[in-house]
Amino acid sequence: MLDKDKALVVFSGGQDSTTCLYWAKTQWSDVRAITFRYGQRHAVEVDIACGLAAEAGVPITVIDIPFVSELSAQCSLTDSSITMDETKPADTPPNTFVPGRNLFFLSIAAVHARELGIMNIVTGVSQTDFSGYPDCRDSFIRSLNVTLNLAMDEQFVLHTPLMWRDKCETWALADQLGVFDLVRLRTLTCYNGIPGDGCGHCPACHLRRHGLEEFLKMKNEK
């Protein structure tokens, strides 16, 4: 039997999932996190995630899934010899796309949640600032929710609080939750592994900074 008062956040220590973690703490009394070592370029990501979770008072589980990077030879996020696409190609996902990543993450999270009796699973994916990653779309999440429930005969609920928020609105949510500075200074979104404001030129930094500037402008105009 899954407990509706418990939630598991798929957590990377980036802007989006950190905002989701603090959001989850306002929704459920018992919140946990799960993070993955999947052969990402910057292993420091996992240390940052663990530190942020500890600070939030949230127990975190780290799962090793090195096969994700072994499967995908053409991905610049797991193979540092490949130059990163800085803009999105017209008809294919950019080479920062890790095929199957969210499918694996959420499937493993659901098995872990089942083990711990957790009904709610939270992920920070967003369709709004769509980077060309098919597994960030709402249709994928809805479909996977049904599949996971059928696969394990359970009643999981996948939550995507950022699905229809752009980056500016995600900054506004962090601000509402009282963690704007923490998210701004301490999270790691940058594909080049630099926390806070990041390298400034990778696609993740572009999106993050653009949203931040928009949010600060809006806030100052108030």
Positions touching Zn ion (CB under 5 A) are 190, 192, 198-199, 202, 205
- The three-state DSSP-derived secondary structure of 158-189 is EECCCCCCCHHHHHHHHHHCCCHHHHHHHCCC
Which CB atom, from 39 or from 198, has the smaller least distance to Zn ion?
198
State the minimum distance, in angstroms, from the CB of residue 32 to Zn ion: 29
| Smallest distance, Zn ion to C-beta of residue 197, A | 9
Closest distance between Zn ion and the C-beta of residue 191, in Å? 5
Alpha helix segments (H runs only) across 81-155: 101-116, 138-152
Minimum CB distance to Zn ion smaller for 95 or for 192: 192
The one-letter code for the residue type at 103 is L
Query: Is the Cβ of residue 96 or residue 160 nearer to Zn ion in the bound state?
Result: 96
Closest listed residue to residue 103, CA positions, set 74, 73, 75, 140: 140
Is the CB of 14 or the CB of 198 nearer to Zn ion? 198
The least CB distance from residue 187 to Zn ion, in Å, is 12
Nearer to Zn ion, 49 or 148 (CB): 49
> If 0-12 CB within 10 Å is exposed, 13-18 middle and 19+ buried, where does residue 83 land?
exposed
- Angle at CA 206, nearest 5°, toward 202 and 208? 115
CB of 204 to Zn ion, least distance (A): 6
